[in-house]
Structure 1
């Protein structure tokens, strides 16, 4: 499905880059990044640096691949800090952690709750898609727009505050 009306959300881009800066700080983008939770933990704790994968950033919901890399670093930091593995339960816990961080920094506003829905679509939605289809969506923009509109637009966002 092609997303013909996609416009990047500059406020979301800015928010996630800020979250990456507040949590991770510096990180490395590389073709060869840790692929498992254990490899990531070993990399971070052994070398003190987060390394994120350089691929798969052509059709993301962000305006530039560099923003997608920053989001990956923030996401991996949440895995590391929360000790959440890469299992479905770990991904759901990380999504919750990221939502709560957004609320803590930007407040519980309609705009921030929309950002929380985008986080849910990107992390939980894509994980569910992967489980069902054996691959990630090729057009993340179309996927996230559809997922956010159909599954989460009217959702009760109390889960933004539930501890992980």
Structure 2
């Protein structure tokens, strides 16, 4: 994301595009409402936002992850998750699935990526992971071009 001034502010977008905002929030909530672990969902949202360079979404989900009590070491090492040695098998599979779905190159998602996620997640859980990944990618593609400014939490609220 560019360091320039916001093109459209988050609050402006939220107020002006209320239906789209509500739809995206509702879509995002379906995964955790459906049983997807909230901490895992936040790790996914953070990694996808890293890949897409979305500072707004990264900061927002970092604040949420901290409030949920996600291990600080996992947050610190997220950019190097492949080699960090601190993530569970399920977290590794989910992060791999998130990268596969975010880095689409026109050839589709490989059978190897599908098999890796399905080894540790049920079909329904894989659907919920996929909804989470698709939703955060959409948010990144809104927040990035509009240059939403990160919402930095105060030390009291973190």
TM-score (norm 2): 0.31
Greater RCO between the two (CA within 8 Å, min separation 6)?
Answer: 2
TM-score by length of 1: 0.31
